Amino acid sequence: MSGSDPSQCPVIVTNSDAFYLDPDSALPEGPRPAVARSEYGYEFLSYPVVRQAFRDKRMQPRDVDYFRSIGASEIILEFIRDGNLNFMAPDKHDRIRPILVKAFTTSRVDSFRPEMRRIANGLIDRFIGEGHADLVGQFCHEYPISVISQFVGLPGEDVPEVAAATMHLRMLGQKPFEPGMPVLEKALRYLFGHISQVVDARRAAPPRDDFLGALIELWDGDDQLTDGELVWSVSFMLLGGHDTTRYTLSGSLVSVLEAGLWEQLAADPAPIPDVIADSMRLHPGTPRQMRVVHEPLEVAGHVLVPGDLVSLNMSAAGRDPAVFDDAASLHCPRSDPAYDIGFGFGRFACIGQTLARVEMAEAIGALTRRLANVELAGELRLKPTGVVAGFDSIPVRFIARAEQPSG
């Protein structure tokens, strides 16, 4: 295999507000490179290169050995091995993924819409009288964890404790890793114990036609799957469905405000799904996915070797000017190719994406219906780093609409 020396790639800094808000501002002058290097390893920046890389089996997500190498303890390794689809061994991943997909039916997601609306309206009720709010702290944070835990089938009254434990699972991505381990272990012990109890109670009661009911039935029908794998997989649903949706939803709300679409969407919510789709391109809640090279490969003239780390940079790919017209602006819908990697692509593509799209649309629907004259009341604050990132604070002022929605 021939190619240029990879160390010749431009070196860029991606852990910054500037990169998150406008990746091109952090790139060298001149034509945009397809590949660069950063603190994460190689950065794939072009949309076609990132899209192709999602399907390239010569690059794989990090695995349990990576976590062992950074000193993870046994309970953390057990979660990674038995429930964390992002990192589990390929044979187990390919056994568990189809079962989870089967339980995530579109009709099950659709029939949960009234519950999503109830959760959204309950959160709005808490601050609507104030005339101001932080849309992240007071809405985007709690909404997704309430939706995912109740969609999965955990009792609503458990949400605060479950949310608190799930928040700590973020520490899986922390550097350095070891200082956060005791908190992570405690959260995992709580989730394992709590979800095991819920599963036991459900098995002892008449079957219910919800996500957990379907999962228990599918699990019990497969003699290779263990109860531990069921409990850890449910724990992973909570992790997969929380911060990702929180940041993607906050990005969509910023897009709506920036594009001046609030009142239009209040009057006609039909374009909300298109707004979310194009906002995921501009303000992704998962701005990168990490891969490890397993076999040598050549990308845009650069040779990568086993062990190299690759960041599939969705922030940059989403604004690739060679693909997207007027790439820095929201277009709903777009006339150029639709951005289709916001939920990943290929073998590891997000299995919660139907739920996420519907729950974000319900949230934006409820907020636009109930709040009028919404305007920024302070600085937007960002968490620009990591695999999950985005707007951490959206302070707004508003007036409550006279006509309040039902349900």
Cα of first residue to Cα of last residue in the chain, in angstroms, is 61
Least separation, in Å, of the C-beta of 2 and ligand HEM?
29
Least separation, in Å, of the C-beta of 53 and ligand HEM?
10
Least separation, in Å, of the C-beta of 115 and ligand HEM?
14
Least separation, in Å, of the C-beta of 368 and ligand HEM?
18
Least separation, in Å, of the C-beta of 370 and ligand HEM?
22
CB 37 within 8 A of CB 406: no
- Written as six digits, the tokens of 120 are 């959204």
Please, which residue, 96 or 259, has the CB nearer to ligand HEM?
96
Please, which residue, 350 or 377, has the CB nearer to ligand HEM?
350
Please, which residue, 121 or 244, has the CB nearer to ligand HEM?
244
Give the whole-angstrom CA distance, residue 176 versus residue 210: 39
Of 314, 218, 358, 360, which Cα lies nearest the Cα of 23? 314
Least separation, in Å, of the C-beta of 252 and ligand HEM?
9
Of 268, 279, 376, 391, which Cα lies nearest the Cα of 330? 279
Report which residue's Cβ sits closest to ligand HEM.
Answer: 352
Please, which residue, 54 or 262, has the CB nearer to ligand HEM?
54
Please, which residue, 352 or 365, has the CB nearer to ligand HEM?
352
Please, which residue, 10 or 273, has the CB nearer to ligand HEM?
273
Crossing angle (nearest 10°) for helices 211-220 and 227-240: 150
Crossing angle (nearest 10°) for helices 227-240 and 90-103: 70
Give the whole-angstrom CA distance, residue 136 versus residue 363: 12
Strands 41-44 and 35-38: antiparallel
Beta bridge partners of 293: 59
Q: Which residues of the chain form contacts with ligand HEM (CB under 6 A)? A: 61, 85-86, 97, 148, 236-237, 240-241, 244-245, 248, 285-286, 289, 342-344, 348, 350-352, 355-356
Least separation, in Å, of the C-beta of 330 and ligand HEM?
17
Please, which residue, 94 or 325, has the CB nearer to ligand HEM?
94
Beta bridge partners of 312: 44, 289
CB 245 within 8 A of CB 360: yes
**DSSP states of 252-306 as a string?**
HHHHHHHTT-HHHHHH--TTHHHHHHHHHHHS-SS-EEEEEE-S-EEETTEEE-T
Give the whole-angstrom CA distance, residue 10 versus residue 179: 33
